[in-house]
């Protein structure tokens, strides 16, 4: 019997940096575990080029991603809605659980700061995946066929 993937929505104001990075990692690291989406309360016209660059450095291609608003999402109910530092600027989206990650917006900062934010988001996505796997009673140790390597 196959695993039911958890629907997760990553939210930030412009859907141009943090939420796109989180969605990219969730799709890469959470294959078969997470069905990842992202949106913004005031979407930008394009994904931030620095976000694309630092994610390419880690093997994740955001160049095909596009910022979007909530009305453009193909799914309306989520298992997890995760905001990335937008507090009251982001609306409450229907979800079983709402999580807030306090991650500073890298917009306008240098590439090293983008890399710092990227590492922070990657760590948070890995923790979310470990939490989901632990809730399903799966081991997260090397050599187990059910594991994701984190």
Tokens 């929505």 belong to residue: 9
On the question of pLDDT at 139 being above 80, the answer is no
Across the strands, what pairs with 80?
8, 97
Residue 140 pLDDT class (50, 70, 90 cuts): very low
Task: List the domain range (segments joined by +) for residue 79.
Answer: 6-135
Q: How many CA atoms lie within 13 A of 95 on its CB side?
A: 20
- Report pLDDT for 31: 95
Q: What is the CATH number of the domain that holds 105?
A: 3.40.50.2300
On the question of pLDDT at 37 being above 90, the answer is yes
Whether 142 is in a domain gets the answer: no
CA distance 33 to 48: 27
Whether 150 is in a domain gets the answer: no
Model confidence, pTM: 0.88
Q: How many CA atoms lie within 13 A of 104 on its CB side?
A: 9
On the question of pLDDT at 50 being above 90, the answer is yes
State how many domains the chain has: 1
Q: Which residues lie below 8 Å from residue 34, measured CB to CB, with a gap of 6+?
A: 5, 6, 7, 8, 26, 27, 128, 129, 132
Q: Known catalytic residues? A: 12, 86, 90
């Amino acid at each position: 019997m196959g695993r039911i993937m958890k629907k997760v929505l990553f939210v930030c104001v412009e859907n141009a940096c943090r939420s796109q990075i989180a969605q990219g990692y969730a799709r890469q690291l959470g294959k078969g575990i997470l069905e990842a989406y992202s949106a913004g309360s005031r979407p930008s016209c394009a994904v931030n080029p620095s976000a694309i660059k630092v994610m390419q450095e880690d093997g994740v291609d955001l160049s095909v991603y596009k910022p979007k608003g909530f009305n453009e999402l193909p799914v309306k109910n989520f298992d997890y809605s995760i905001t990335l530092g937008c507090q009251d600027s982001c609306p409450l989206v229907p979800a079983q659980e709402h999580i807030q990650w306090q991650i500073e917006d890298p917009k306008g900062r240098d590439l090293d700061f983008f890399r710092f934010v990227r590492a922070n988001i990657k760590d948070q996505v890995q923790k979310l995946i470990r939490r989901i796997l632990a809730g399903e009673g799966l081991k997260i140790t090397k050599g187990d066929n059910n594991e994701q390597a984190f």
